[in-house]
Amino acid sequence: MSAPSPSFLPLPSPLTVEGRPRLVGVEIEFVDLSERRAAECLQAVLGGTVEEEDPYAFRLADSRLGNIGIELDMRHVHPRRDGPGRWLGPPLASWLGAAMQPFVPREMIAAPLAPKRLGELDTVMLTLREAGAGGEGAILTDSLGLHFNIMPVATDAPTLLRLLQAYLVLEPSLRAEILISRLMRFHAPPPYPSAYVRRVLSPDYRPNLDDLCTDYLAANPTRKRSLDLLPLFLQLFPERVGPRIRGKVKPRSVLHYRLPLAYVGRPGWSLAADWNRWVAVEVLANDPDRLAEACRRASA
C-alpha cells in the first residue's frame, strides 16, 4: 500500500480534551461494482476475512485498515437488521435487492482512522475503480456521498457552538464549491434554516449544552443537514432526542459531515480536497477573533 498523501492537512487540534487521538470514520458511495466483488477486491490488497451478512452486505474483518463494510445502501434489503428488511424477510429482501441494485448506490464504511491515514483510502478507491466501480458525484436517483464522521475535540457547549458557528459561516461557500450541478444541488441536504443561522451567529447566543441541543432539534429534527449533529446529540441526550427524530439515526459521538460527494469513477480522484475543506472549518473555529468577525459579517 502506498504511503499517505501529504496533501491531507492535519487537524488543528489532533487530540481530544482527554488526550486521545481524534479519529475519523469515512463512508464512500459508488456504483456498478457488486458488494461481493468490492469486498473481494479490498481483501486482495488489505488482507482480512470477507464475511457475508446477506447477499447485499459484506464485511471485511481485520484488514490492514480495520473492519470495512460494503453494502447496498437500502435498509429494505438487509433482513438481519432492525428495520423494514426484517419484516420483509430474506426472500422478499433478496428479490428487492436484485431489482434495485442497478439504481441504488453501494456504500463502503471504513472503521475510524487516524487522519494521517486517510490517503490510504485513495489507494482503496483506485483498487475499486480498476475493478469496475464508478461514480461522478451523483446519479439520477441519488447523490453519491462522501461522509466524514469526525471525533470532536470535546462535547461541551462552547466547543460545539464555535464549531457550529464556523460551519454556518462557511456553508454557503462549501456548497458552491461542492455542488457544481443542478442534479447535485437537487439531491444535497438542504441548508440550515435561515432563522436558525441568524440565531446561532448572533453575539448574544450563549447556550448551555441543554439549550444548544434543544434549539438544534427544534430547527433541525432531521438528519438531512450537511453537518448532521443528530448522532452526537442522540448520544448525549437519548431520551430527549430519540422520540423527535425523523428517519434512521444511530447515536455516535461524532460530527457527521455529509456534504461532500464521491467520484470513485474519476481517475486521480482523492478525498484530500474535501477533507481539507473540513479542516478549514476547524481552523476558523479555533480562532475566536476571526470567528467573531466572520459571524458578524455573515449575520449583517
pLDDT digits (tens, 9 = 90+) for 98-140: 777 788 999 999 999 999 999 999 999 999 999 999 999 999 9
pLDDT tier for residue 234 given thresholds of 50, 70 and 90: very high
Percent of the chain exceeding pLDDT 70 equals 95
Whether 142 shows a pLDDT value over 80: the answer reads yes
Mean pLDDT of 39-54: 94
pLDDT at 239: 86
As a whole number of angstroms, the distance between CA 252 and CA 151 comes to 9
List CB contacts of 48: < 8 A, sequence separation 6 or more.
Answer: 42, 60, 61, 62, 63, 64, 67, 68
247 or 176, greater pLDDT: 176
pLDDT at 2: 44
300 or 227, greater pLDDT: 227
SS3 labels along 148-215: EEECCCCCCHHHHHHHHHHHHHHHHHHHHHHCCCHHHHHHCCCCCCHHHHHHHHCCCCCCCHHHHHHH
Distances (CA, A) of 41 to 50, 125, 130, 133, 134: 10, 11, 10, 11, 14
Answer whether 57's CB lies under 8 Å from 51's CB.
no
Instruction: Please report how many Cα atoms fall inside a 13 Å half-sphere around the Cα of residue 134, on the Cβ side.
Output: 8
CA angle 244, 248, 253 (to 5 degrees): 80
As a whole number of angstroms, the distance between CA 183 and CA 101 comes to 20
Q: Which three cell numbers stand for residue 74?
A: 437500502
Mean pLDDT of 39-49: 96
| Residue-averaged pLDDT of the chain | 92
Answer whether 69's CB lies under 8 Å from 58's CB.
yes
List CB contacts of 210: < 8 A, sequence separation 6 or more.
Answer: 237
Mean pLDDT of 14-38: 96
pLDDT at 34: 93
Tens-digit pLDDT profile for residues 147-204: 999 999 999 999 999 999 999 999 999 999 999 999 999 999 999 999 999 999 999 9
Amino acid identity at 262: A
Strand partners, 15: 21
pLDDT at 75: 78
Tens-digit pLDDT profile for residues 62-102: 999 999 999 998 777 776 777 766 667 777 777 777 777 78
Polymer length in residues for the chain: 300
Whether 3 shows a pLDDT value over 50: the answer reads no
Strand partners, 107: 29, 71
Q: Which three cell numbers stand for residue 76?
A: 429494505
Task: Out of 1-10, 88-97, 142-151, pick the least confident.
Answer: 1-10
As a whole number of angstroms, the distance between CA 210 and CA 216 comes to 10
As a whole number of angstroms, the distance between CA 9 and CA 116 comes to 8
